[in-house]
Amino acid sequence: MIINHPILGPRDAQEFVYLGDAGLIERPDGLAEGAVDAFHDYLYLRDNPAGEHRELWYHEQGDRSWLVVTRNTLTHEITRVELARDVARAKGRSK
């Protein structure tokens, strides 16, 4: 597979390490009420869709960017690649 890195351009997926669903960006507040349940759902449950999937890849043999890649799990077609940091900020994690 080839991932079109938003900074570096197309790169073989072999340069990257895969983590999983980009929902892992949305880590709950560990000091909030009901944190155990929230963390259970966050860490263990997955949509695991057959189709479009937003997922985290790390450019370990490159610039160390974490990327959010939108890829179809049926065809492997990649339609979007973003810097995970930008996605995290858009999710309000900068607060």
Partner 1 sequence: MTQSNRIAGGQIDRTRTLSFTFDGVAYRGHPGDTLASALLANGVRLMGRSFKYHRPRGPISAGSEEPNALVELREGARREPNTRATVAELFDGLSADSQNRWPSLSFDAMSIKDRLSSFLTAGFYDTTFRWPASFWEKVYEPIIRKAAGLGAMSRLEDPDQYDKGFLHCDLLIIGAGPAGLAAALSAGRAGAQVILADEDFRMGGRLNAETHEVGGMTGAGWAVQAVSELSHMPNVRLMPRTTIIAAVDHGIYGAVERVSDHLAVPAPGKPRQILWRIYSRRAILAGGATERPIAFENNDRPGIMLAGALRAYANRWGVAVGRRAAIFTNNDDGLRTAADLKAKGVEVRVIDVRKGEEVVDSSGRLGLKSVTIRSGGRLETFPCEALGVSGGWNPNVNVASHHRGRPVWEPAIEAFVPGQGDIPGLAAAGAAAGRFSTRAALETGAAAAEEALSDLGLAVPARDLPQAEDGAYAIEPKWYVAGGKGRAWIDQQNDVTLKDVKLAHQENYTSVEHLKRYTTLGMATDQGKTANVLGLAVMAGLTGKSIPETGTTIYRPPYTPVAMGTLAGRSRGQEFKPKRLTPSHHWASEQGAVFVEVGMWLRAQWLPRPGETTWRESVDREVLQTRRSVGICDVTTLGKIDIQGRDAAAFLDKVYANNFASLAVGKCRYGLMLREDGIVYDDGTTARLGEHEYVMTTTTANAVLVFRNLEYARQCLYPDMDVQLISTTEAWAQFSVAGPNARRLLQKIVDQDISDAALPYMGCKEITVCGGLRARIFRISFSGELAYEIAVPTRYGDALIREMVAQGAEFDAVVYGTEALGVMRVEKGHVAGNELNGQSSALNMGLGKMVSRKKDSIGMVLSQREGMTDPDGYRLVGVKPVNSAEKLTAGSHFLDKGAAPVMANDLGWLTSVVYSPHLGSSIALGYLKKGDERRGARLRSVNLLAKTEVEVEIVSPHFFDPEGERLRG
Partner 2 sequence: MFGTGRYSGWRVVKEALTGHKGWKPAWRDPEPQKSYDYIVIGGGGHGLATAYYLAKEFRQARIAVLEKGYLGGGNVGRNTTIIRSNYLLDGNEPFYEFSLKLWEGLEQDFNYNAMVSQRGILNLIHTDAQRDAFTRRGNAMILNGADADLLDREQVRAMYPFLNFDNARFPIKGALMQRRGGTVRHDAVAWGYARGADQRGVDLIQNCEVIGIRTENGHVTGVDTTRGFIGAKKVGVAVAGSSSRVMSHVGMRLPIESHVLQAFVSEGLKPLIDGVMTYGAGHFYVSQSDKGGLVFGGDIDGYNTYAQRGNMPVVEDVAEGGMSLMPMIGRARLLRTWGGVMDMSMDGSPIIDRTDIGGLYFNGGWCYGGFKATPASGWCFAHLLATDRPHETATAYRFDRFRKGLMIDEKGQGAQPNLH
- Distance from C-alpha of 7 to C-alpha of 4, rounded to nearest angstrom: 9
Binding of partner 1 by 39 (CB under 8 A) = yes
Radius of gyration of the chain (CA): 14
Backbone angles phi, psi at 58, to 5 degrees: -120, 125
CB of 13 to partner 2, least distance (A): 7
Place of tokens 């610039």: 63
Q: How many residues bind partner 2 (CB under 8 A)?
A: 26
Per partner kind, with CB cut-offs from 5 to 8 A, the member of partner 2, partner 1, none near residue 34 is none
Q: Residue 29 in contact with residue 93, Cβ under 8 Å?
A: no
Judged by beta carbon distances under 5 to 8 A according to partner kind, the member of partner 2, partner 1, none in contact with residue 52 is none
Q: Is position 69 an interface residue for partner 1 (rule: CB under 8 A)? A: no
30 Cα distance to chain centroid: 21
For partner 1, the binding residues (CB under 8 A) are 1-2, 17, 19, 24-25, 27-31, 35-36, 39-40, 43, 56, 58, 60, 64-66, 75-78, 83-85, 87-89, 93-94
